[in-house]
Amino acid sequence: MEILYPRCAGLDVHKDSVVARVRCVSAPAVDETRSFATTTAALVELQEWLSTYAVTHVAMEATGVYWKPVWHLLEEHFELVLANAQHIRNVPGRKTDVNDAAWIADLLAHGLIRSSFVPPAPIQELRDLTRTRKQLVREISQHTLRIQKTLEDANLKLSSVLSNVIGASGRAILSALIAGETDPERLADLAQGTARHKRTALIAALHGRITPHHRRLLRLHLDLIAALEAALAELDRDVGKLLAPIRTSARLLTTMPGVSELTAQVVLAEIGAYMTRFPTPAHLLSWATMCPRNDESAGKRRSTRTRKGSPWLKTALVTAAWAAVRAKNTYLQAQFLRLRARRGAKKAILAVAASMLTAIWHMLKNGVEYRDLGADHFSRRDRSKAILRLMRRLNDLGCDVQLTPQAA
pLDDT, one tens digit for every residue, the chain (408 residues): 788 899 999 999 999 999 999 999 877 788 899 999 999 999 999 999 999 999 999 999 888 889 999 999 999 999 999 998 888 877 676 788 898 899 999 999 999 998 888 989 999 999 999 999 999 999 999 999 999 999 999 999 999 999 999 999 999 999 999 999 999 999 999 999 899 999 999 999 999 999 999 999 999 999 999 999 999 999 999 999 999 999 999 999 999 999 999 999 999 999 999 998 899 999 999 999 888 777 667 777 777 778 787 789 999 999 999 999 999 999 999 999 999 998 899 999 999 999 999 999 999 999 999 999 988 888 777 777 878 888 888 888 888 888 777 765
Outline where 206-330 has alpha helix (H): 212-243, 247-253, 261-271, 281-287, 311-324
- Model pTM score: 0.83
Gyration radius of the chain's alpha carbons: 29
What pLDDT score was predicted for residue 408?
Answer: 54
Give the whole-angstrom CA distance, residue 226 versus residue 239: 20
What pLDDT score was predicted for residue 115?
Answer: 87
Give the whole-angstrom CA distance, residue 230 versus residue 277: 36
Domains of the chain: 7-109 (3.30.420.60), 122-244 (1.10.287)
| Residue 206: count of CB within 10 angstroms of its CB | 26
Q: For residue 11, what are the β-bridge partners? A: 20, 60
Q: Are 90 and 100 in contact (CB under 8 A)?
A: yes
